[in-house]
Amino acid sequence: MVALLFLVSALTFVVFYALPSADPALLRAGKSPNPALVEQIRHRLGLDQAWYEQYWQYMKRLVLHFDLGHTYQHDEAVRKTILDRVPATLSLTIGAAVIWLTMGIAIGTISAVRRGRLVDRLSMGAALVAISAPVYWLGLVGLYFFADDVGKLHIVPGAGEYTPLSEDPAKWFTSLLLPWFVLAASFAAFYARLLRGNLIETMSEDYIRTARAKGLPERRVILRHGLRGAITPIVTAAGLDIGILLGGAILTESVFNIPGIGRLAYDSIRDADLPVIQGTVLLGAFFIIFMNIVVDVLYAFLDPRVRYT
């Protein structure tokens, strides 16, 4: 994990210095700035040093003091700026994950058990539509129809205006209700199709026939034996997807005006704010690596064939 995070930080730093980009000092100096002022800002930000010297100073502060530097735009601590955005992203990701896992596993199981019947065809057709629909399009359509203030039906209050959990739990829930379902739609569809294929294959295994021969109820055979053997790829995909979303769901947060890590990353790229970009990339890489470790550990509990010694 440490080696990968170090590599990610180095690559991010090199990419944003090797590729042409906007000058942070010029952006901060405003319109028609004085060249002397631009040079003064560049010196104060340390941008007049060689990129490897800047990277060395950055890593030294990070390793010794967990200091991610200060933003170029507002001169605030990057660590505090990112930590202030984490609760919004956590709320969005965890809520959406609960919805898509519940829907995906339920629909995938029913479709596998009722393979070829009307419910299977309808659910898989709906899943195909949900997978094909872009998140930002679903978000705009959801706001147009269901938002309380601008929507046609006025069903979901607070959509498009995020309220922190600490301020008002009820408004927090309603403000995230529409983003949860929009973000979960394509994931639930993908997981349903994935689980259906795996469960159909698993139900033809020898140990399933043995369980049925022992006289176990069909519900127990499906849920206790079939689903347990077919759910391993779901856990793998869920770990990766949740890790990516914890690093920031840029499109969803932008459409619904959620002040999360994804929105922060988008704004920092637009403003060429390298310390914030570096911090959000490192946080995203950490979540992805951490969730992969969690998935590896869960394998031993879900699949009896996996053992760690």
List the domain boundaries for the chain. 86-302
| Cα distances (angstroms) measured from residue 96 to each of 91, 100, 122, 249, 283 | 8, 6, 23, 11, 20
pLDDT tens string, the chain, 309 residues long: the values are 888 888 888 888 777 766 656 667 776 776 767 778 778 877 877 777 777 788 888 788 888 888 888 887 777 888 899 999 999 999 999 999 999 999 999 998 888 888 888 888 898 888 888 888 888 888 888 888 777 665 566 677 767 788 888 888 888 888 888 889 988 988 888 899 888 888 888 888 888 888 888 888 888 888 888 887 788 888 888 888 888 888 778 888 888 888 889 888 888 888 777 888 888 888 888 888 888 888 888 877 766 666 655
In three-state secondary structure terms, 94 is helix
Q: How far is CA 128 from CA 189, 245, 304, in A?
A: 7, 22, 33
- Global pTM reads 0.80
> Which CATH superfamily does the domain covering 86-302 fall into?
MetI-like (1.10.3720.10)
